[in-house]
Amino acid sequence: MAKRIKKPPVKPETRSEWLRRYEGGESPTKIADNDDFDVRTVRKHVELARQEREVREARAAVLRNALERHYVDLCDFAEKLDSQIEGEHTVALAPESNRMLLALRQHLPRSPLWNNLRKWNQLHEENTRLEDEVKKRLKEEIEPDPKLSVFLHSDEQGVVDAISVALAFQVKAWSQGWKGLHIEDDLKTEPAGEGLVDARYGSAVMNKVKQEHVAHIREVLTDFESIVRGWQQYADMKKNVEEMKQIKGRLRDELAIITLRRVVPGRCKYCPI
């Protein structure tokens, strides 16, 4: 009796080929005869190849879905950034403050987004500092103004703070190209009894002042609305606002590329593959 020769193990590529032939219409028996294998071996490995393919396809589907969700997360984050920029808000850039920020930076390390966002934040911070300087300077210069100091009673000292707040708002509004308050329309008074009125300029409330002092308040407001336009802080704020408008456009353009492409190039530590 001839000695039976043990065949080598069936290689993965061989069983994949058998599955292809089987699905193409070739029977296990014919495959076995043509390739000189036992038909039971062919059937076993055809089924094994089918299972392996199903696992690969399932894994690919899981990874594809995970990658799609990852891109959705990145696009949603880009939309959030765009909303912050559109709303004139600063953006926290420390990677530890937001993992999605870290992910987007790793995907797009050379994007102009990052330098523009840093400059955007710097200009915001600079204008906040300038606004504080303007408010402090207004109070320091309005308080001793004889048009008020000579007439105001001790119970009317809230007037100086209110005027400072209102004029600081004016400076901010004008620097951004807004109309701001109009003294004829927005300086309001309401009778408060005994020769007093409740006065306010915009949202700045002066509370009760003597009716005859309203004219002095109006004069101070008119004078300082003219004076502050010549201050360096106002000029600096206007310059910053103009630069911010340009940066805002560049930022929104870059973010639109991300959200409209819906696929973010590159990789990050959170990529599923």
pLDDT digits (tens, 9 = 90+) for 126-138: 999 999 999 999 9
Domain ranges of the chain: 12-67, 74-120+238-261, 125-237
Residue 269 has what DSSP assignment? T
The segments of the chain whose pLDDT lies below 70 read 1-6, 95, 154-157
Q: With 0-12 CB in 10 A as exposed, 13-18 as middle and 19+ as buried, what is 28?
A: buried
Q: How far is CA 74 from CA 61, 99, 199, in A?
A: 20, 10, 51
Supply the pLDDT for residue 6: 65
Supply the pLDDT for residue 1: 44
264 CA to centre of own chain: 17
Distance, CA of 52 to CA of 92 (rounded, Å): 47
Supply the pLDDT for residue 219: 92
Supply the pLDDT for residue 25: 92
